[in-house]
Structures are given as structure tokens and as C-alpha cells.
Amino acid sequence: MFRRLLFLCLIWLALRPAWAEGVIHLILSDSGVAYQEASEAFRADIGARATVKVWTLAELGAEQAQNLSRVAKILVPVGVKAARFVAEHHIGQAPVLALMIPRAASEKLQWPTSLGRRKISAIYIDQPPSRSLGLAAAAFPAARRVGLVISPENAAVAKDLLKEATLRNLRLTVETINSADDVAAALRRVLQDSDVLLLVPDAIAINAGNAQNVLLTTYRFRTPVIGFSQGLSKAGAVASVYSSPKQIGQQGAQFVHRMEEDGELPMPQHAGEFSVVFNPHVARSLGVALPNETEVRRKLGARLE
């Protein structure tokens, strides 16, 4: 009898579908390096406490996604495409934690009304206003006028930045543009009146296609730039604050622990961990005396490593 039971258990384990209850499904938008880094960090932190099944979006059909939304312990889409796919096919009650997603994109996602609010959360890839403006203040203590060019998709971000700027006694000049053709003119207007230019991720205002123009223009105006990625600082932004896929992946795992303990996910939020990177060559060329990196991290409230 016991041997038959054991045999049945083994059969059940062997045939147990990957999407069965208790499994965390990590759905990557793409198989790129950044997604792999996030995935590895997430899995390492979850450790042996739960099973993590990793998918790339290409591997997942609509029906599978629907099934997962019914049975998974939690769905963790990584990136905008995966998050949107999950949202579109969510018919069950599985909680969702979107990782590495811009806040503006996250807020645009349409979730089924039946899914409780505390079952949906996100760790944004962008930085909170206090951090980006904090970096501006720490790296350029004499700067009082901060320029910003955005498209309407970032209206909420701009509003938060304006609030933060007021608290910090900074004057934020915001130019809103509707078309990529208006970037140059808007940038010119803002740079005339700015000690530093803040870049926030924006599909129209700053992207891989126009980053070169934007950086060259700011350099001609001799205005230092605060960027939002390592790539931007390498390209020419004097300082950038960003959260790496690893940092976001780790925090994602902590969110899952919290869910296990409290029964619900923490509110959507920016990554708690971040890195600061400088471009010392551009800083020197612009005559900017960079502050001590540890000091800046401390001012921004980073946990000391």
C-alpha cells in the first residue's frame, strides 16, 4: 500500500504542471542581458523557499497565460511587454508584481476590475523625484534652475518633480512637447534658463534615436546633464542615478516574502536600491567639481554597502 502511495506521489510530482499552485512565474519581456540579470537576482533571493519558473514572452501563449493567472502563486512580469501581456490575459486571481517597468507605463496598464488592488504591485525602473533632484542638488550645489523636457506621458512625473523642486528651493522649468520635431526648440528654450538639465525617460523627449543630439546641444550650452541610466552617463551625462536589474530583481524577491507574510503585496514603488554614476571626463570639461560619491549616496538616502 505504502509503496503504491509513494509511486502515485512520484507520478504526481513528475506530471505536476509547471503552472501549478505555489509556483512563482517570472515572465521576461525578452531574453536580453538585463532581463537575465533581474531574473537571476530574483531567483537567488527566493532561494529554495519556492519554485520559480522562468518564461520569456515568446514562449508563452495567450491560453497558458490565462491558466497561469488562475493557478500561479504570483506572476512576475519583467518589463513593459510582459506586464502588458499579463494584464491583457489575466482572468484569475493570481497576484501580479511587475518589475523593471517605467512608472508611466505601469499606470497605464488595465487590470481586471475583479483583481484586488493589493494583488497588483510594481517596482519601477525609474527614480523617484527626491532621488533625481537630490542628485542634482548634491552634484551641483550652486545650481538653482533645473530644466526638464517631457512629453505629455510624463505629466504626472513632472508634477511630482515640481513638488519636490519646491521643497528643495529649486526652480524647475518644464517644457512639454508633443512631437519629436519640437525637441530641439524646447531644449533650446530650457537650456537658456537652466543650470542643469534633468533627463527623465520619455519616448519622445529623449531616446536612443536623439540622445546624441540632446547631449551635443547641452554640451554646446555648457549645461551639465543628470541622466537616468549608465548608458547616458557613458554617452555624456555628467551624473546618473539608476537602479540596476539586479537591484530590482532582489527587491522583487523581498516583495514576494512580504506577500507571504502579510498576505498582500506592498504598494507599487520605486526601487529602494540604486547606484550613482558620474562621467568625470565631461564633468572636468565643463569645469564641474564632482562631490564624493559616498557622500552623494548618503545624501540620497542609500544604504551603505
Partner 1 sequence: MVKWRLRFLAISLLLAPTTGSMAQELSEADFFAELPEVLTASRLSQPLMDAPNSVTVLDRKLIEATGYRNLSDLFRLVPGMYVGQEKGWFHNVSLHLADSFARRMQVLIDGRSVYLPSFGGVRWDALPLAIEDIERIEVVRGSNAASFGANSFTGVINIITRHPEDVAGRMLHLSGGDHAHQEGWFRWAGQGGAASHRITLGRREDGGLINQFDDERSDILNYRGDYALGGGESLSIQLGYLQGERGSGDSITLSDLPHDQHVKSYSLQVDYRRMLSGDREWMLKASLDHLLTREVSPAAFPPVLPAGSYSLLDLLSRRWHVESQLNSEHAAGLRSSVGAYLRRDQVQSDYYFNVADTLSADSWGVFGHLEWRIAPEWLANMGAFLEGYDTVGTRLSPRLTLHWQPSSRHAWRLGMSRAYRNPALLETYITTIKDFLGPNGVSLGLPPTQPYFVAAGPVDPEVLLSQELGYLGKWPEHGLDLDVRIFNEKISDLIDASCTSPATRTCSGIFPINPRRFDNIGGAGQKGIEGQLKWQPSALTGVIVNYAAMDIDSGINDKRYSPSQQYGLHVMHEFSGGLDMTLSHYWLPAFNPIGQGDLHGYKRLDARLAKRFRLDGSNGQIALVWQNLTDDYIEFSDDKLPNGTPYNLFDSRFQVNFQLEF
- Subset of 16-45 contacting partner 1 (CB under 8 A): 29, 32-34
- DSSP letters, 125-169, are SSPPHHHHHHHHHHH-TT--EEEEEE-GGGHHHHHHHHHHHHHTT
Residue of 31, 114, 166, 207 interacting with partner 1 (CB under 8 A): 207
Residue of 141, 152, 294, 295 interacting with partner 1 (CB under 8 A): 141
Determine the Cα–Cα distance for residues 272 and 92; give it in Å rounded to an integer. Answer: 30
Which residue, 145 or 258, has its beta carbon nearer to partner 1? 145
Distance of closest approach, residue 289 Cβ to partner 1, in angstroms: 4
> What letter represents residue 227's amino acid?
G
Distance of closest approach, residue 279 Cβ to partner 1, in angstroms: 8
What are the respective helix, strand and coil percentages of the chain, to the nearest 5? Answer: 50, 20, 35
Determine the Cα–Cα distance for residues 173 and 66; give it in Å rounded to an integer. Answer: 45
Distance of closest approach, residue 119 Cβ to partner 1, in angstroms: 22
SS3 109: coil
Size of the site for partner 1 (CB under 8 A): 72
Residue 271 grid cell: 526601487
Determine the Cα–Cα distance for residues 78 and 37; give it in Å rounded to an integer. Answer: 11
Within residues 168-187, the interface with partner 1 by CB under 8 A covers: 171, 179-181, 183-185
Residue of 49, 159, 188, 298 interacting with partner 1 (CB under 8 A): 188
Which residue, 43 or 189, has its beta carbon nearer to partner 1? 189
Within residues 225-284, the interface with partner 1 by CB under 8 A covers: 228-229, 231-232, 234-236, 242, 245, 279-284
Distance of closest approach, residue 11 Cβ to partner 1, in angstroms: 41
Distance of closest approach, residue 138 Cβ to partner 1, in angstroms: 10
Contacts of 169 (CB under 8 A, 6+ apart): 144
- DSSP letters, 63-107, are HHHHHHHHH-SEEEEESHHHHHHHHHT--S---EEEEEE-HHHHH
Contact call for residue 129 and partner 1 (CB under 8 A)? no
Contact call for residue 289 and partner 1 (CB under 8 A)? yes
Within residues 54-113, the interface with partner 1 by CB under 8 A covers: 79-81, 100-102, 104-105
- DSSP letters, 244-284, are -HHHHHHHHHHHHHHHHHHSSPPPPEE-S--EEEE-HHHHH
Which residue, 229 or 251, has its beta carbon nearer to partner 1? 229
Which residue, 23 or 237, has its beta carbon nearer to partner 1? 237
The helix-helix angle for 62-71 and 80-88 (nearest 10°) equals 80
Contact call for residue 50 and partner 1 (CB under 8 A)? no
Which residue, 56 or 73, has its beta carbon nearer to partner 1? 56
